[in-house]
Amino acid sequence: RPADESPTREQLEAWDRELVWHAFTQMTEHQPFIIQRAEGCTLYDLEGRAYLDGVSSLWCNVHGHRHPTIDAAIRAQLDQVAHVTSLGMAHPTTIKLARRLVDLAPAGLGHVFFSDSGATAVEVALKMAFQFWQQCEQPQPKKTKYLAFENAYHGDTLGSVSVGGVPRFHEMFRPLLFEVLRLPSPTMYRLPTNVTRENACEYFLNLVAQVLEHQHAEIAAVIVEPLMQCAAGMILHPPGFLRGLRELTRQHDVLLIADEVAVGMGRTGRMFACQQEDVQPDLLCLAKGITGGYLPLAATLATDRIWQAFLGTYSSSRTFFHGHTYGGNPLGAAAALATLDVFEQEQTLANMPAKIARLQEYLARIALHPNVGDVRQLGLIAGIELVRDRVTQEPFPWGERRGQRVCNHALTRGVWLRPLGNVVVMMPPLNIKLEELDRICLAVEEGIEVAT
């Protein structure tokens, strides 16, 4: 094949099947779906067919695709420099991003460590929390454990998998992982007997309180996905749980790590999910939407108390010996600054209530379907759990792929979605238009009819 000849669609599909090992994909079943370009909330395949992006790529394109402001900021940065290491150097764009993040974040988070993905933002937080207790003013070297929740998802590196708790993703790697104290997922669906939606918050906080009372001396940090555990199937926490968790961790002097990789950057209707319950964590992890979904950049924000514990002479070994080659990459930082600019210019958050309300209307209707066990909404995030029997809450067998069937149908209606098992997920760009949201919701509604 001559080098200047573009591959045909058939060739691209064959190479995609044979050469590219796709993430979270059983390659024997992989159906190539090749996107050539995008505009706003619409993706276009090689034949020019259009698909509404109902999940913001992988929950990251908060302002859609090819946003002129973000595109221009990356181009302008390219004219300056593409990459400057954060080991011994700095770049104005990255410094400005740190300033903006600190100004926007919940109070007390005054320092930013840049990395390159959600998982690395979490690794940084875990290692910072551990090292903090080893060398803070009154060291507590026995504080070496983490408390995490069942069904948590914090990324795919071994540290983040250790604090993860989704059996299907994580169990296989158990022999490689460090031990973590784990409590039940603070859910509001499939509750234990004697627990109702009304007393669920108290029930789950009680479990936390018991562990912290007895083991706080050995726990470095609690890690939580604020308000909703997304990757496990959009598991919504009882209102007040995050606030209660903050109070308990403060009471027992245990650090709180808020992993806002999925729920941060406007998804819930506030810039950060912690702000919904007026919570100030000790460490805050951000990625995905931080660059508008354009480039790999992540941030771990830390309090001054944590920062102070790392200060000293070089020989004292108080340094945080951790870094990634592309941490704080200026191109990513330029995309992130532009993403924050767009939030202001387009009043993204102020425009969300109408969209959130419209999504709620559709979900209320969808909730009446006999095979819908639960609908869960947090801002512009929705999870619809399909069940065989809504009275007994009996799930559909995993292998029947009901969620995927709904998404397959949606695709025939020009809507791209990706399920989590039996949970149909919607997480559209925040700048989606109401009529586009209508199309996504109608495709889901129709898909549920066809797939159940």
CB of residue 123 to ligand PLP, shortest distance in Å: 10
Stretch that binds ligand PLP, among 33-41, 192-200, 225-233, 430-438 (CB under 6 A): 225-233
Nearby residues of 282 by Cβ (< 8 Å), 6 or more positions away? 129, 221, 255, 256, 257, 302, 303, 305, 306
Question: Is residue 262 at the binding interface for ligand PLP, with CB under 6 A as the rule?
Answer: yes
Q: Is 159 annotated as a binding residue?
A: no
147 lines the binding site for ligand PLP (CB under 6 A): no
| Residue 252 interacts with ligand PLP (CB under 6 A): yes or no | no
129 lies in the binding site for ligand PLP (CB under 6 A): no
Spatial distance between the Cα atoms of 171 and 418, rounded to a whole number of angstroms: 23
To ligand PLP, the closest distance from the beta carbon of 285 in angstroms equals 7
**Does 259 belong to an annotated binding site?**
yes
Size of the site for ligand PLP (CB under 6 A): 14
The reply on whether position 165 binds ligand PLP by CB under 6 A is no
Task: Give the Cα separation of 317 and 74 in Å (integer).
Answer: 37
* Closest to ligand PLP by CB, 109 or 387: 109
Does 154 sit near ligand PLP (CB under 6 A)?
Answer: yes
> Is 230 near ligand PLP (CB under 6 A)?
yes
What is the number of the residue whose Cβ is closest to ligand PLP? 118
Cβ distance to ligand PLP smaller for residue 149 or 362: 149
Instruction: Compute the least distance from the CB of residue 314 to ligand PLP, in Å.
Output: 31
Q: Among candidates 276, 321, 264, 345, which has minimal Cα distance to 101? A: 264
Is residue 287 at the binding interface for ligand PLP, with CB under 6 A as the rule? yes
CA 172 to the chain's CA centroid: 22
- Per DSSP, the residues of 19-74 read T---TT--GGG-----EEEEEBTEEEETT--EEEETTHHHHT-TT-BS-HHHHHHH
Block residue for tokens 């309300």: 357
Which tokens in the block code for residue 161? Answer: 């998998």
Kindly indicate which of the ranges 129-137, 168-176, 223-231, 372-380 contains the residues binding ligand PLP, using the contact rule CB under 6 A: 223-231
* Residue 53 assigned to a binding site: no
How far, in Å, CA of 167 to CA of 150, rounded? 9
Q: Give the Cα separation of 305 and 133 in Å (integer).
A: 11
Angle, helix 330-345 to helix 68-78, in steps of 10 degrees: 150
Number of helices and strands in the chain (H, E): 14, 17
Output the known binding site for pyridoxal 5'-phosphate: 118-119, 259, 324-325
Binding positions for ligand PLP, rule: CB under 6 A: 117-119, 122, 153-155, 225, 230-231, 259, 261-262, 287
Output the known binding site: 118-119, 153, 259, 288, 323-325, 418
